[in-house]
Amino acid sequence: MIIGIDDTDSNEGMCTTYLGALLLEELQEYGNIETLPLLVRLNPTIPYKTRGNAAVALKLKTDFPEKVIAHVRSRIGEFARMDCEKTNPGAVFIQEKDYERLQALLMSFLEEAVKEVIEIKKAKDLISELGIASKGFKNGRGLIGALAACGAMLNPGKWDFTFEHLAYREKERWGTPRDVDKESFFEADRKTYPETWDTVDLANRLVVCVSHSADPVLFGIRGESQEIVNKAAALIRAEPVERFAVYRTNQGTDMHLIPVQSIAEIRDMHSYRLEGKVSAAPKTLEGGHVIFAVRDRKGAEIDCAAFEPTKNFRSLIRKLVPGDLVSLSGSVTSGTLNIEKIEIKALAQIYREENPKCPRCGKHMKSAGKGQGFRCKKCETSSLSKVRSEINRDLEAGIYEVPPCARRHLAKPLAREKRQDVRIFPSR
């Protein structure tokens, strides 16, 4: 049986992955866990999300499906923050006999949940048409994520994946500051990067894998394999870990990006990869956000932003000039593309006018008076007009990304980028 769960948490606490980790242990009473649990990130622009728009799926071989359903329902009832308006849990249960029948349908639903915006009604209609067991609480919005997570579990080979080792706090410590040895995270990073990423942010001297909210997560180590995330986690020195779980996940895969040819195709609350030319130079706004415009081949324009939280990435963006050919990845909200990555494909050549150089001594000539050209007094050479010289751009073509402290869960870090045709500048 596959169990999908979503939307159990609120800003004041809980995390759906914690419930997943708990159920992973508890459900062993009714059968055998068949594979690693899944942590599936969905459309990052959805306003209903608490933090990272995550849903969870588990797979269990069981002869007692009814007992499993009853157990999951009661644990959601106990743990979910039902008092919070934004918390609308959902659980979906898929029986083994239905795996083949539902596989392709729920793969499309997963793709849609990662890239598009889905109405609750669509998930509810699909559930009833397909005869799937489910339980929605309150308005049942969590059924969307729960169904999508089941789609991911049914199609393990159809999407790129990474791993996360999530360590959870003892319950009595929830809501208190986390007691962690920061240096141990830098050490774990040194020993496992680039197979792990986003543990620390070297440029900004930050530990980024430790959450600061009231949820049960102590830290999460992300990486390319189960072995490497466990190796890094074993190097962490911190308060006691109540339990941990390694999730297989679509984090760090760019699964949310929709490639588009033209800006006319772009809609709010979607994420894109778009090529165009810088058409208005970057400006720094109040609050430190850096905004510039990009134009596509048809002449349409869109504002692109490196917001203040992207820190040092903004100094790179400020070096762009009109005419630079770029490919941008990021989410669009309020008509602005929030940059996650930029590939600078070709730099525009820019020039400045300057006094000509003397062909003998090589020094710049001086003006010989209004309308009289330029001359070098010493060598007695002259020239009529100014010359154009190319300005050194102090910027290289290649792919750049926001630093780990500003990374979106779904964004593929450059530590994972295998392209050979372009220079890669991972941000650390």
Binding site for ligand ATP (CB under 6 A): 6-7, 9, 15-16, 42-43, 46, 48-54, 88, 113, 116-118, 141-142, 144-145
- Among candidate residues 236, 245, 241, the one with its CA nearest the CA of residue 16: 245
**Amino acid letter, 189:** D
Torsion 145-151-153-159 (CA) sign: negative
Residues 153, 247: contact at Cβ < 8 Å? no
94 or 118: whose CB is closer to ligand ATP?
Answer: 118
**Amino acid letter, 164:** E
58 or 316: whose CB is closer to ligand ATP?
Answer: 58
Tell me how far apart the alpha carbons of residues 249 and 124 are, in angstroms, rounded to a whole number. Answer: 25
**Amino acid letter, 103:** Q
80 or 236: whose CB is closer to ligand ATP?
Answer: 80
- In angstroms and rounded to an integer, the radius of gyration of the C-alpha atoms of the chain is 27
**Minimum separation from the CB atom of position 82 to ligand ATP (A):** 12
**Amino acid letter, 226:** Q
50 or 331: whose CB is closer to ligand ATP?
Answer: 50
**Minimum separation from the CB atom of position 317 to ligand ATP (A):** 27
**Minimum separation from the CB atom of position 268 to ligand ATP (A):** 13
Q: What angle do CA 412, 418, 424 make, to 5 degrees?
A: 80
Tell me how far apart the alpha carbons of residues 376 and 217 are, in angstroms, rounded to a whole number. Answer: 72
**Minimum separation from the CB atom of position 333 to ligand ATP (A):** 14
Residue with tokens 């030319």: 277
**Minimum separation from the CB atom of position 323 to ligand ATP (A):** 36
108 or 389: whose CB is closer to ligand ATP?
Answer: 108
53 or 427: whose CB is closer to ligand ATP?
Answer: 53
**Minimum separation from the CB atom of position 39 to ligand ATP (A):** 9
Residues 92, 146: contact at Cβ < 8 Å? yes
